[in-house]
Structure 1
Amino acid sequence: MISGGSTDGDSNQARKARSRRECLEVDGRGMNEPVISFGPEDLRGVSLPHNDALVIQARMTNYDILRLEAVETALFGFAGHAVYHEGEITLPLTLGTGDLRKTVMTIFTLVDAPSSYNIILGRPAMNEMRAVASTYHQKIKFPVRGQVGEVKGDHPSSRKCYGETFRVDQKKARREDKGKVVNRVEEVVEERKELPGISPRVAEHKLNILQGSRPVKQKKRDFGPEKDKVIDEQVGELLRTGHIREVQFPTWLSNVVLVPKATGK
C-alpha cells in the first residue's frame, strides 16, 4: 500500500476535512452501471498457474513537464518509509480499445526512484475509472456507456519487470552498502579529531525515539536580524567543515536553538 501525496489532502487540516466530507457524501453514480464479473473465458491466453503482477499498457497524451505542481506531503510505503516527490501533474489517462475506451483526467505523482515500472495506477485512478482488477485473470474491467470495457495484462512484460526489480534492488543495496562504508570512514575520522582513542564501546550517543512516531516538521521561526546573522555565520562554518549538508526535502525539520554563552555571546 502506498499512501500520502496530495490525493488525501496536502495538510493535516485538509485530510481531516476530506474525511469528514466523505462520511457525509453518498455517491449514486454507480447505481445504473453494468455488472462487472470474471469467468473462465477471461483466462484465455493466461499461463496458469502464476503469481504475476498485473502490468498493462495505457495511453497518456498532451503532457507538459512545466505544469508540475509542488506537493508537501510525502508518499509512505507499507513499511512506513517516506519518499518525497518532485511534484504532481494532471494528464489524460486512456484505457480500453475502440468504442469501449475510457479517458479520465488523472493526477500523477513524480518520484525520483529506480523502478522497472513507469507508472503505478493507484486507488484514486482506479476508483475514478470505476475499474475492477483481477490479477488472477490478468485483466482490468470498467464500465463504458452502459457496457464493460477491458484491458488485458501483458504477461511477458510482467515477468520482465519482476526480474528487473531484483536487479534494481541489488544495485541499490550495493550503493547503500558502499555509502555505509564511506560514512563509517567519515565517522572514524571524526572520532580521531574530537575523541582520539575513545572507542564507541566506551562512549556512544543515542536518540531514544518512540517507535511509530511520525516525523515533525516545524514552521520556520523568525529570529530577527541580529540572531539571523549569528545563525548564518554558524551554519556557514558547519557547511565549510563538512559537519552538515543541505537537504532539499527533509522528512523532519527543526528550528535552530540559540543558547547564550557565559560571556554573553
Structure 2
Amino acid sequence: MITGGTTDGDSHRARKARSRQLEVYGVGSGKKEDVPILGFGPQDLEGVETPHNDALVISAVIANYTISRVFVDTGSSVNVIFKKAFDQLQIDEAELQPMATPLFGFTGHEVRPLGQIRLAISLGTEPLLRTWLTFFTIVDAPSAYNVIMGRPALSAFSAVASTYHQKVKFSVGDQVGEAQGDQLASRRCYVDMVHTDSRKLRRTQAAEVHLVREAHTVAAMEDKELLQVRPNCPESAVQVAADLPPALKEELGAC
C-alpha cells in the first residue's frame, strides 16, 4: 500500500481546499449515469486456479505500449510507474511535472518521486476496450512490478477489482469490459519481491555487523596504550590495557 503523492493536491493548502469543497458540495452529488451492474459470479472463476491468495496482476496498454506486471492495488493513493518501465516508454524525463509531496510505503519509509506525468491507459480488449487519461507517479526504486494501478486509475474507470476472481471489471457504455489477472505473473512477482527483500535484508545486516566490528575495533584501540619495555629499543613497545595499575606498568617496563 502506498500513501501520499498528489491525491487531492500536491500541497497541504490544496488538500485542505479540496476537503472544504467536498464539505460544501457533498459527496456523490454529481449526475448519475446509466451504467451496467459490475458483479462477479461462478462464471468468472473459469480459468482461475483455486484455491489461491494471489495478488491481482494484469496487463495494460500505457502510452501505446503493452505493459505486463501491472499490480492492481486498491490501497494505493497514487498510480506508480517504476523508472525501469518508464525508461522503456521512451518519454523524456523533462516532460515530468515536479512533485512536492513524498510517498510512503506500508513500512513508513519515505520515497521522493522523480515527478508525475499524465498518460493514457487502456484496459480490456476490442470491442470492450476503454481508455482514460490519468496521472502516474514515477518512482526510482526496485520492484518486481512495472506499474501499480492504484485508486486514481480505478476510480477513473469506475472499475471494480476482485482478487479472488482475478479480474477487473468496468463499464464500456452499457456493457461490461474486463481485464483478466495473470496468476503465473503474480506468483513470479511474489518470488522476485521476496528475493529482493531478502537481499536487501542481508546487505543491511552485513553493514550493521561491519559497523559493530568497526566500533569494537575503535573502542579496543582507545582502551589500550603503548608501553616502552626497553627505553633504548623502540621496537620493544607493546600494547597494554590503559587502565593497568601504575605499579604493574613500572614492573613491566623494568623487565
Partners of 2:29 and 2:179 lie apart in 1 by 25
Q: Counterparts of 1:29 and 1:146 in 2: how far apart (Å)?
A: 16
Distance 1:82 1:139 in 2: 31
For residue 171 of structure 1, what is the amino acid of its counterpart?
R
Letter in 2 for 1:6: T
Q: Deviations over 1:150-194 (max 9, x none)?
A: 01101111111111111111111122223323444565677789x
| Per-residue deviation, residues 215-249 of structure 1 (Å, max 9, x unmatched) | xxxxxxxxxxxxxxxxxxxxxxxxxxxxxxxxxxx
Structure having greater relative contact order (Cα 8 Å, sep ≥ 6): 2
**Aligned residue in 2 for 1:40:** 42
Q: Helix, strand or coil for the counterpart of 2:44?
A: helix
Change (3 A) 1:131 1:178: same
Matched with 1:9 is 9
Q: 1:30 to 1:3 in 2, by over 3 A?
A: farther
How far did 1:144 drift? Answer: 0.9
Normalising by the residue count of structure 2, what TM-score does the alignment of the two structures yield? 0.70
Distance, in Å, in 2 between the alignment partners of 1:102 and 1:30 is 19
Identify the residue that residue 160 of structure 1 maps to in structure 2: 188
SS at match of 2:149: coil
Give 2:129's aligned residue. 101
Question: Greater strand share, 1 or 2?
Answer: 2
Aligned match for 2:166, one of 119, 138, 142: 138
Q: TM-score, normalised by structure 1?
A: 0.68
Q: Distance in 1 between matches of 2:212 and 2:162?
A: 47
Cα deviation 1:101-151 (Å, max 9, x = unaligned): 111112111112111110011111101110000000000000111211001
5+ long unaligned stretches in structure 2: 65-88, 225-255
Q: Which amino acid aligns with 1:56?
A: I
> Using the alignment, how far apart are the partners of 1:122 and 1:75 within structure 2?
13
* Partner Cα distance (1:107, 1:21) in 2: 21
**Residue 120 of structure 2: aligned partner:** 92
CA distance in 2 between partners of 1:84 and 1:183 (Å): 27
Say whether residues 1:57 and 2:35 are aligned partners.
no
Query: Aligned residues: percent identity?
Result: 48
Task: Work out the number of aligned pairs and report it.
Answer: 196
- Matched letter for residue 5 of structure 1: G
RMSD: 2.2
Aligned with 1:82 (options 110, 115, 132):
110
Deviates more, 1:182-191 or 1:28-37: 182-191
Secondary structure of 1:101's counterpart equals strand
The one of 102, 112, 130 equivalent to 2:140 is 112
Pick which of 26-35 and 110-119 moved more: 26-35
SS, match of residue 91 in structure 1: strand
Partner of 1:231 in structure 2? Answer: none
Distance 2:219 2:22 in 1: 55
Deviations 1:68-117 (A, max 9, x none): 12111111123322211111121110001002111111211111211111
Distance 1:27 1:98, change over 3 A: farther
Measure the CA separation in 2 of the matches of 1:92 and 1:150: 17
Consecutive unaligned residues of structure 1, counting only runs of 5 or more, are 199-265
In 2, Cα distance between the equivalents of 1:31 and 1:68?
A: 34
Q: Which residue of 1 aligns with 2:20?
A: 20
Greater Cα offset, 159-168 or 177-186: 177-186
